[in-house]
Amino acid sequence: MYIHPLDHGARPGWRVLAPLALLLASACYQGGATLDADDTTGATASDAGDAGGSSDADATGDDDDDDDDAEPPPAFKPGVPVMPRLTRAQYLSSIEALLGPELPAPPTEPDTNPYLFYNIGAASTTLSELGAQQYEEAADQLSAAVFADAARREALVGCAPASPTDECVAGFLAAFGRRVYRRPLTEVEQQRWLGFADELAAGDAWQGLRYVVAGMLQSPYFLYRVERGEPDPVDPSRRRYTSWEMASRVSFLLWNQGPDDELLDAAASGALLTDEGLRAQAERMLADERARAAVQGFFAQYLDLARLDGVTRDPERYPLYTPALIEAMRTELELLVDDFVHRRDADIRGIFSTRHTFVNDELAALYEVEAEGASPVTFVPAELPEDGVRAGLLTLGAFLTMNAHETYNSPTARGKYVRERVLCEVIPAPPADVDLDLDPEDAGEGTLRDKLEAHRENPVCASCHQYIDPPGFLFEHFDPIGAYRTLDNGLPIDASGALDGTELADARALAELLKSDERVGECIATQLYRHASGRREVLSEKPGLDAIHEGFAESGFRFNALLITLITSEAFRTVADEEVLP
């Protein structure tokens, strides 16, 4: 790991921290090595995760084989372990849970989202030297802010230490260490941190604790999710996550932060090794507001809402466009997800066909619907007309705007989104030597659909575009900000298309089709599994994923039930007996 040289002149407060920094450096995790439970100190240098993914996004696809003499399907084998670093949201949320609210949010290395999810990026990317330095500086700044405030430090520690070696310090380190490490400290770890507190106190017990807190917040056991499991007595080819590791896995999935004391107490009792114990804790946590934020985080990544951040349009060309309209589109989807998951606990597949949504005044104007009481900052429920042009998430502003260019539509991007995000299918990248640029305004007469015929005339392009363009054409009645239109380049729009051989008249017909397509539910469950696992699934996990899909279907495709089905599944509780690789 990289420890930035300490500038004692410029930062005198670090003079006392220097011995601790050296100790941290000596205990740094190196890629390919495994963390020893007694090795308490150290910051991180690299992420030791392995995405473990498959090049086939639908690695769990069925082989429609009805032969009664066929061999039984293979038994479930769990995927390889990963060791993800905390995402930025997980880091900040965990810091707040440990130290309290209203602390400054320090800079950290940006998240990446290969295969949609930040957890996969956190398990497959290397932390830079700058990133390690940022964690070091953040730990110092955060601990300094807490311990400079007498009321705050006393609330954190829970007692007033008379000396660095009294019972107050020992009790705090045991309790705080359990929250930070997401497991109890070993006796060696406890004594080592007590020694640091004494060594760095310089006669001030509070100062010793301040530097120990800074050290713990740099530990790989805090910054990484160290979940290796223990030998499975039933199957030596795999490992089973410990009760403490299950507490961590459940908490990061449901709250996007480390476990609270009640969950850790359940881990200590062994309750998290049973279906009943896991279900009880999951139900408790799902009733908490923190679960709402975590669910929103999953759907924001699954639906790729970050792409709204860079959207701009020419107001002269699109008079309804404002930056506030784009933000309203994001809020609309957040409210819609919350309605399906938390308010009504409804069949989540309905999000792709519902005529119910939430609008402010700008969205109401865009959709041409009544919205009494709406204002720029007030969203109200709205019903899209039964005989109207919209139905479901794919006819709302966010999807239509994200998957369009600044001045013209992209049936290809819209069709690709349907294939990849909604149905979990794989679309290969275009050949490197293919010109991807298309300027409809310089391409002569005809509609955009006419101009895209070149995709199907070029054999290099046809194999993919004949697959992704037909569902994309279904949205041609909606322009690059999602407003309805009937003409393109002065000509009537043909918004017919197809999905897997089924001819469809328009986007409303697609919504009706998706409402009963079993792949939609399976894809949502698969995407959640990837998010929770920090990697792509592999073929050997198919029986485990099939069981999750089946449980999801039996629940009526309710997302909360899916979370509990996932948490109690073998796939979530076991891992292959392999070392974590860099």
3-state SS assignment for residue 230? strand
Tell whether the model's pLDDT for residue 20 goes beyond 60: no
Report pLDDT for 581: 53
pTM of the model: 0.88
pLDDT mean over 165-176: 97
Contact yes or no for 16/211 (Cβ under 8 A): yes
Tell whether the model's pLDDT for residue 5 goes beyond 60: no
Report pLDDT for 491: 96
Give the Cα separation of 569 and 543 in Å (integer).
11
Q: Mean pLDDT across the chain, nearest whole number?
A: 88
pLDDT mean over 20-42: 38
Tell whether the model's pLDDT for residue 95 goes beyond 60: yes
Lowest mean pLDDT among 461-470, 501-510, 553-562: 461-470
Write the pLDDT tens digit of every residue in 215-252.
999 999 999 999 999 999 999 999 999 999 999 999 99
Report pLDDT for 464: 83
Which of these, 137, 159, 141, lies nearest to 206 by C-alpha position? 159
Tell whether the model's pLDDT for residue 138 goes beyond 90: yes
Lowest mean pLDDT among 23-32, 171-180, 211-220, 420-429: 23-32
Which of these, 289, 266, 286, 220, lies nearest to 28 by C-alpha position? 220
Write the pLDDT tens digit of every residue in 315-353.
999 999 999 999 999 999 999 999 999 999 999 999 999
Report pLDDT for 115: 87
Give the Cα separation of 83 and 578 in Å (integer).
12
Report pLDDT for 445: 79
Proportion of the chain above pLDDT 70, given as a percent: 85
Write the pLDDT tens digit of every residue in 98-120.
999 999 999 999 999 988 999 99
Identify the residue whose tokens are 């066929």: 70
Give the Cα separation of 482 and 408 in Å (integer).
11
> Could you tell me the residue ranges of all domains in the chain?
14-52+77-223, 299-344+354-429+440-514
| Single-letter amino acid code for the residue at 437 | D
Confidence of residue 11 (pLDDT cuts 50, 70, 90): very low
Identify the residue whose tokens are 């998430």: 393
Write the pLDDT tens digit of every residue in 258-275.
999 999 999 999 999 999
Which of these, 575, 405, 400, lies nearest to 476 by C-alpha position? 400
More confident residue, 293 or 234: 293
Write the pLDDT tens digit of every residue in 210-219.
999 999 999 9
Give the Cα separation of 129 and 46 in Å (integer).
9
Report pLDDT for 378: 99
Report pLDDT for 335: 99
Tell whether the model's pLDDT for residue 521 goes beyond 70: yes
Report pLDDT for 338: 98
Tell whether the model's pLDDT for residue 567 goes beyond 90: yes
3-state SS assignment for residue 371? coil
